[in-house]
Amino acid sequence: MTTLFGHSIRSELLLLYIAEALACFIVIYVLMSWQVGHAAVGAANVGSAGIFAAILALCAGLISGASGLYQPEAWSRGKRLLLGTLVAGLLLLVLTWLVLRAVDPAYPQRLGNHLIAVLLAFAAVVITTRLGFAVASQLGLLKRRLVLLLDVGGPAGAKLDLMEDKPGAFEVVPLRPGHDIAAALAPRWLRARRVSAVVANATVVPAELADQLKAAGIRLFDEAEFRERYLHRVDAEHLPADWLASTRAMHESRLEAGFRRGLDLTLGLTLVLATLPLLLLTALAIKLDSHGPILYRQERVGRDGRGFMLFKFRSMVTDAEAEGARWASKHDPRITRVGRFIRLARIDEIPQVLNVLRGDMALVGPRPERPAFVEQLARVIPHYNDRAVVRPGITGWPQVNYPYGASVEDARMKLAYDLYYVRRQSLFLDLLILVATIRVVVFQEGSR
């Protein structure tokens, strides 16, 4: 694992990004230089080709992330890989045109006719790199080999539930029975089996053995550390009462807070202007489809527990909660025909930009919940109210990592992701969430 700006990233994904960026730069630069050379327009445009290729290479990872091409299932499923490549190609088409215009307005106009060549080159790079990683995954080269030693009594009883949501990422190495802890965790024995980490209760591994593991380059985690670093969620059940005192969100500088707020305003206004025709068509469709207001106002709980009115496009009938507040269910009969579509496409969420502009919300943060649900969940889930230490968001870490949930257990799991975001909040993590949100919207992951 590699840590960037406080967020842990799988080393193979970082390697994939670097390989993809380098390959994109080389292929696109050679292609554009060849085209410029045949156009006979001078050395200045050869330099522009280099800038153009560098910008596209750096953005290739963002485009692939927005298209779901960093998801492991995209490496092993041909249909998913081709669909993701198609989406990435469309995004690259827009970016290529913008970069061509920005890098050099005097660029030969006929190069625009060769955009298809750039798209094919990018597609070739994406498919080739993913197939390479798919082969490596099939050979087990990308798996993390772990030793689980979580019971005080010994190596028996390893908790395999740690691997449930990432079954292909880890392999548990069994320990030999009948050996003491020092022999079972001998660094030479572990290195021979390519074990990269040991997950154990703090009371199990003696300090001297822990130092030997560290010297051998083998990481030692307790269960909570492992969940946070590898599974990107926090175990709320075992957090100390004063855990917030050391969180990233509590120590954000005024400069960073101001920059974050400026970014929210800029991106919020851009989103409204870019989707204005869609918003007008949606408003008209809602009005024609069912009786009631176009926008739906609902009280939610925001930062520090303060209430505010949330704006959404109305997707349910007007008397949807005549019998009181309840979570939406699959095939919910309260949802209108237009409402079902805009919920699947997440169009109903766009009016929340008004809340962002007003300062009630941010673009990224924990989803604001209703007061009745907050009160209910806070009674049964430890630290549930701790998520309110940051502004709620339109999208967030649970939304891009966990499917739609409508139960206490789902809320418990989402809190684990929310608290990870609270603990490690950064502009870099916000960027990853925004990029992943495009994937969630395009492929309708977790919609209901």
Give the pLDDT score at 361: 96
Residues 6+ apart with CB under 8 A from 370: 298, 299, 300, 301, 325
- pLDDT confidence of residue 245: 78
pLDDT at residue 43, rounded to an integer: 43
Quick one: CA torsion of 164, 143, 127, 430, rounded to 10 degrees? 60
State the pTM of this model: 0.84
* Cα gap 67→157, rounded to integer Å: 39
Position 377 confidence tier, pLDDT thresholds 50, 70, 90: very high
For residue 202, give every residue at least 6 positions away whose Cβ sits within 8 Å of its Cβ, in sequence order, or none: 222
The predicted structure's pLDDT at residue 157: 40
Q: Which of 22-31, 35-44, 179-188, 373-382 has the highest mean pLDDT?
A: 373-382
Mean pLDDT of the chain: 82
Q: Tell whether the model's pLDDT for residue 312 goes beyond 90.
A: yes
Residue 284 CA to residue 278 CA, distance in Å, equals 10
Q: What is the pLDDT of residue 281?
A: 95
Q: Using one digit for the tens of pLDDT, what is the confidence trace for 327-367? A: 666 667 788 889 889 988 889 999 999 999 999 999 999 99
Closest by CA position to 64, among listed 123, 104, 107: 123
Q: Where is average pLDDT lowest: 17-21, 31-35, 337-341?
A: 31-35
Measure the CA–CA gap between 84 and 123, rounded to whole angstroms.
Answer: 10
Radius of gyration of the chain (CA): 25
Region for residue 200 given its phi and psi (left: phi exceeds 0; alpha: psi -120 to 50; beta: otherwise): beta
> How far is 114 from 426, CA to CA, in rounded Å?
39
Q: Is the pLDDT of residue 178 over 50?
A: yes
Q: What CA–CA distance (Å, rounded) separates 317 from 332?
A: 11
Q: How confident is the model at residue 41 (pLDDT cuts 50, 70, 90)?
A: very low
Give the chain's domains with CATH numbers: 2-138 (no CATH), 144-231 (3.40.50), 249-442 (no CATH)
Instruction: Give residue-wise pLDDT tens across range 123-176.
Output: 888 888 888 888 887 787 777 888 887 654 444 444 545 555 565 677 888 776
Mean pLDDT of 375-390: 91
Spatial distance between the Cα atoms of 438 and 274, rounded to a whole number of angstroms: 15
More confidently predicted of 237 and 384: 384
Q: Is the pLDDT of residue 66 over 60?
A: yes
Identify the H or E element spanning 337: helix 337-344
| Per-residue model confidence as pLDDT tens digits over 202-240 | 677 888 888 888 898 888 888 888 888 888 888 888 788
pLDDT at 16 over 70: yes
Does the pLDDT value for residue 394 go beyond 90?
yes
SS (H, E, C) 67-100: CCCCCHHHHHCHHHHHHHHHHHHHHHHHHHHHHH
Highest mean pLDDT among 8-17, 22-31, 64-73, 273-282: 273-282
Q: Is the pLDDT of residue 326 over 70?
A: no
SS3 of 199, please? strand
What is the rounded CA–CA span in Å between residue 347 and residue 134?
Answer: 34
Long-range contacts at 303-311 (CB < 8 A, ≥ 24 apart) = 303/388, 303/389, 303/390, 303/391, 303/392, 304/388, 304/389, 305/385, 305/388, 307/371, 308/355, 308/360, 308/361, 308/368, 310/352, 310/355, 310/360, 310/361, 310/368, 311/351, 311/352, 311/354, 311/355
Share of the chain above pLDDT 90, in %: 26
Contact between residue 418 and residue 366 where contact means Cβ atoms under 8 Å apart? yes
What type of residue sits at position 88?
Answer: A
- Average pLDDT estimate for 90-104: 75
